[in-house]
Amino acid sequence: MKSATVLLLAALFAAPALAAESKPAAAKPDLAKGQATAATCMACHTADGTRGAPANPILQGQFPEYLSKQLHEFKSGKRKNAIMQGMAAALSEDDIRNVAAFYASKEAKPGAAKNKETVLLGEKIWRGGIADRKIPACAGCHGPTGAGIPAQYPMLAGQHADYTEAQLNAFRSGLRANNIQMTGVAAKMNDAEIKAVSDYVAGLR
């Protein structure tokens, strides 16, 4: 009886391990196929996600997990944008994985802040937040240099100031509702602060 119990326990403990081993490995991204998919995106994001129109995000060097998350949320409707929802709707899981990996494989080119008058305010918010309104430092999540944290917080260094400003305004208004934390942060910021930190971000490297 004791022997049977031992065998039963051994089988129960082994089952999860066996299940994990039998789980198929995630498919590796195909950069060539990702590049082919990216060809349909080049009107807004250029051929490789580099510095195109300031109204559109720079995708080069962005974390593939973050890009995949955004595409899935456009596809599901959690993130609203008529153009991107239409583009994402046609993408398969493989397409999303491949195109995200393609953009991530490119080295992002540096940008620059343009407004010297607001650099100090932007730096203050980025590094230390605004204590009296409980606005946290941007660097706390996105890093001192804007490098971000894979799968959690996107890389922002060098991003177009116009695009960053538009996204912060969208978070503040509720138009973009796919990140509760950013909605809360942006809700406490005024126009001048959003503009200053957005411009500062453009010059991070």
What CATH number did the domain enclosing 158 receive? 1.10.760.10
Q: What residue numbers bound the domain in which 84 lies?
A: 31-104
In the predicted model, residues of the chain with pLDDT beneath 50 are 2, 5-15, 17-20
Residues 35 and 89 grouped into a single domain: yes
Angle, alpha carbons 190-191-195 (nearest 5°):
120
Residue-wise pLDDT for 45-57, tens only, equals: 999 999 999 999 9
Q: Are residues 36 and 90 in the same domain?
A: yes
Q: Which residues 6+ apart lie within 8 Å of 26 measured at CB?
A: none
Are 186 and 122 members of one domain?
A: yes
Are 31 and 94 in contact by the 8 Å Cβ rule? The answer is no
Mark whether 38 and 69 lie in a shared domain: yes
CA distances from 19 to 22, 25, 27, 52 (A): 5, 12, 18, 46
Give residue 9's pLDDT.
43
87 and 136 co-located in one domain: no
Indicate the average pLDDT of the chain: 91
Same domain, 127 and 196: yes
Q: What pLDDT score does 6 carry?
A: 44
Final residue before a domain boundary, out of 104, 129, 150:
104
**Residue 71 covered by a domain:** yes
How many Å apart are CA 202 and CA 165, to the nearest integer?
11
**Sign of the CA dihedral 70, 72, 77, 78?**
negative
Of all residues in the chain, the percent with pLDDT exceeding 90 is 85
In a domain, residue 188? The reply is: yes
The pLDDT of residue 25 is 72
- Bridge partners (DSSP) of residue 149 are 153
- Residue 26: the pLDDT is 73
For residue 53, report the phi and psi dihedrals to the nearest 5 degrees. -60, 135
Q: 94 and 145, same structural domain?
A: no
In total, how many domains does the chain have? Answer: 2
